[in-house]
Amino acid sequence: MLSRKLLPTRLLLSLLTSVAVPLAGPVTAAEPAAKTDFASLDRDGNKALSVEEYLASPGLPDPKVARRNFSVVDFDRSGGLNEDEFRALPGRLPVDERGPVPDPIAELAAAALKTWRPLLKEADRNGDAQLSAGEWPEANLKAKLPPFGDLKFEVWDADGNGAVDDAEAQRLIGLGYGTVYGDGTPARSTNGRVLYLSWIRTADRTGDHAVSRSEFVASYWLTPPDRAKLFTELDKDGDGQLTGPEMLKAPSLNVDGMNLFLHLDKDLDGLLNAAELFGNPSTGATKAQCVHSVAACDDDRDGQLSLREFQLAPAGLGYVTLRLLSRQDANKDGFLDWSEFYTERSPWMIGVAADLFRRFDRNGDRRLGLDEFEFVTDLTKVPVDVLFRIKDADRDNRLTFTEVFPHAEPVTDDQREAERYRIRFGRATARFKRDDADENGSLDLAEFTRGREQAAAELGETPGEYSTRLFIADADGSNMKQLTELPDFQKQGSPVWSADGQLIAFDGWKPQSGESFSSSKIVIVDADGRNPRILGDGSMPSFSPRSQRVAFSSPKMGGVVVASSQGAEQELVQISSSGWGTDWAPDGRLVFATATPGGGNLVVANIVEGTTESLFEEADTPYRQIAWNMVWSPDGKRIAFKGVTKEGKEELGIVDARGADSGLIRRCEGPMLASFAWSPAESRILFVKLDPETRRHQIYFVDPDTQDPPRLLPGQDDLRSYSDVAYSPDGKKIVVSCHMRTASE
């Protein structure tokens, strides 16, 4: 039964913004809590539980899992478990009662404090247990406590009273290693849980060490109504902000490091290799970054990461407190120096960053090369000899085809996987033959250089500091060319074509100026990329059938809004205060996502009739959440969308525009981005999902009327990573949002 309501023309405005922040919170299989205690299992009474004694205990999981768990919590590598280690066994006790898990970050902070205190005592000439600016031991600090010694006296003197005491030093060192939040809340629990500081600091835009309701709603990864509901649940004292202690008690804002480690350990050997690290999409790490993390943090040089080493690695648990994997080569010299690597506001995480910089700098030249740490850079500016050296695995100054294209053919029955490999292999082979001028089966530096120059010319890109940019391509993804040059807008997304094919609208914002998605503007350009103009504040635009109006989501106002295409302040009408993401049907109806008591829902608004209709039962929808950037079928009879089921699974759904009772197809399942394009020329829906091999988002297509599996769009450049996509009105072209590539790609 559809829910039919009158459509209000204006409502009070509220702030509902959307920035997706993935959080890894996997749940490992719990070991059944044993009724027996440590003493009863310790049969020989030596206060150390052997593996044999442990395996004899009742109610254990699979023996291989049990042995793995034993190995992981044998923190001192003694071959036996003491009582604290026994209490740390997975599932033995609730997390809050778990035995202590050794933390290398906390140990680094403790070591720094231990170094500081003798320096304080030695420099304290008047014996008042604090240091004035005149007593400040700058040279000793630089020599014995880098990089903290490079911080100015005023940074140490938190209360500004002209003296630094031990409490201020503890605070600064705690901030430098992320062991405390800015308000003094402990951020690393002894049981292995870590406060999600990297997200919290992003959300806390005012820098007051608390997350307000508006900041939470602007940054959390649920749909806006769900965010508001969760905030109310977490805000225990009802003061409208989440403090450090409140966030420390929130499971969704903490990551259980040991649980995550065990979840990623697919081969149950108690260690993580680079491939297993790559299994955690929350880090955003590429395969190369996972390899680099293992090389840098593998202290015992066994080629894998223990739990302790995992806690240090940026592609391991490190992302929870400090995200390092998107650093940029600002001066375009092909290397990353300390100032490019550490970009936080001092002293935040400076101790962790310094330790990691030292680890990644394996050749000790005080800068990071691409063979040590993968970073973002403009490929046209990176020294070609640096890239050549990275690919030249055998160091013979020539590149064979396998060094240029090191991917083995997958052994699989999955036709999609095989097709993807054939496309990539064919392209790589053709490029290699073209570049091998002397036809000797290998590329020297000169041939490699000429090949890259030719490839760059073929791409037709304008160099610039983009994070994402818009491209026009043929319908199969080939002949991709940059749409327009707008270097100020480093983030460009959600493109849409006008029905007459003359205009393209999209949203853009300026992260380099501190802007986030909530600051996005709607930009309109001619279909050839010329004549750019800013319509106004907003995101995810959609043209009306005659292109006279634009519907969009308003991060600042809240909800779904319609305005004149001549200017966002003209004829401004709020269609829904709780809707998010919208698309205009050929007949003038609008669809948007919202939340109803039973879960995520789609609402169709008929502006002429002044009505709205929910497409799913409001009290019981099949979805926990329905995402933005849904799309109408060209005939206006169906809508394709991304839904998250009550079980947490993502799927591409296709619902009848009259309501789910008239038809709902759950077309395909699996992680995907919230962006869809329905071809007006053939039975095809485009969408974007992650390529599990390269960790790049690629464009796939499905037939909405069959159950054939998704297939890779054949003509796309497989070196790119895509997000949003839209068809031209005749179906002959697509416009896509494309992410800037890293140097290794």
Name every residue whose Cβ is closer than 8 Å to that of residue 101 and which is 6 or more positions away in sequence: 75, 88, 190, 191, 192, 257, 258, 307
Q: Are residues 454 and 546 in the same domain?
A: no
Q: Give the pLDDT of residue 224.
A: 63
Q: Are residues 416 and 537 in the same domain?
A: no
Q: In the Cβ-directed half-sphere of 450, how many Cα atoms lie within 13 Å?
A: 11
> Tens digit of pLDDT for each residue in 323-336?
988 788 888 777 89
Q: Are residues 418 and 523 in the same domain?
A: no
Residue 505, SS3 per DSSP: strand
Answer yes or no: is pLDDT of 366 > 60.
Answer: yes
Q: Give how far Cα 471 sits from Cα of 423, 484, 504, 520, 526, Å.
A: 21, 8, 11, 19, 13
Name the band, by pLDDT with cuts 50, 70 and 90, for residue 620: confident
**Both tokens assigned to 99:** 């035995």
Q: Give the pLDDT of residue 379.
A: 55
Q: Are residues 391 and 539 in the same domain?
A: no
Cβ–Cβ < 8 Å for 404, 443: yes
Domain boundary among 425, 458, 491: 458
Q: Are residues 512 and 654 in the same domain?
A: yes
Let me know if residue 122 belongs to a domain. no
Sheet holding 491-497, edge to edge: 491-497, 503-509, 521-526, 533-537
Other C-beta atoms within 10 Å of 287: how many? Answer: 17
Let me know if residue 474 belongs to a domain. yes
> Tens digit of pLDDT for each residue in 205-238?
888 999 999 888 877 776 667 788 899 999 999 9
Q: In the Cβ-directed half-sphere of 515, how many Cα atoms lie within 13 Å?
A: 21
Rounded to whole angstroms, the Cα distance separating 102 from 111 reads 14
Let me know if residue 104 belongs to a domain. no
Name the band, by pLDDT with cuts 50, 70 and 90, for residue 574: confident
Q: Are residues 603 and 482 in the same domain?
A: yes
Residue length, the chain? 745
CB < 8 Å & 24+ apart, contacts of 296-300: 296/356, 296/359, 296/360, 296/362, 296/372, 296/373, 297/359
Other C-beta atoms within 10 Å of 224: how many? Answer: 26
Q: Are residues 423 and 517 in the same domain?
A: no
- Give the total number of structural domains in the chain: 4
Other C-beta atoms within 10 Å of 79: how many? Answer: 11
Q: Are residues 705 and 565 in the same domain?
A: yes
Domain of residue 419, residue span:
384-458
Let me know if residue 223 belongs to a domain. no
Let me know if residue 663 belongs to a domain. yes
Answer yes or no: is pLDDT of 462 > 50.
Answer: no
Q: Are residues 571 and 437 in the same domain?
A: no
Q: Phi, psi (5° rounding) for residue 636?
A: 75, 15
Let me know if residue 292 belongs to a domain. yes
Rounded to whole angstroms, the Cα distance separating 115 from 109 reads 10
Q: Is the Cα dihedral 356, 357, 360, 362 positive or negative?
A: negative
Answer yes or no: is pLDDT of 249 > 60.
Answer: yes
Q: Are residues 688 and 723 in the same domain?
A: yes
Let me know if residue 161 belongs to a domain. no
Give the domain CATH number at 44: 1.10.238.10
Q: Are residues 389 and 354 in the same domain?
A: no
Cβ–Cβ < 8 Å for 734, 505: no
> Tens digit of pLDDT for each residue in 411-430?
777 676 677 678 778 888 88
Q: Give the pLDDT of residue 508.
A: 93
Let me know if residue 569 belongs to a domain. yes
Rounded to whole angstroms, the Cα distance separating 488 from 433 reads 39
Answer yes or no: is pLDDT of 744 > 90.
Answer: no
Domain boundary among 360, 392, 412: 360
pTM: 0.61
Give the domain CATH number at 319: 1.10.238
* Bridge partners of residue 631, in order along the sequence: 640
Give the domain CATH number at 642: 2.120.10.30
Q: Give the pLDDT of residue 718.
A: 78
Q: Are residues 451 and 467 in the same domain?
A: no
Report which of residues 595 and 354 the model is more confident about.
354
Using a pLDDT cut of 90, give the percent of the chain over it: 62
Other C-beta atoms within 10 Å of 437: how many? Answer: 12
* Bridge partners of residue 626, in order along the sequence: 643
Domain boundary among 50, 68, 89: 89
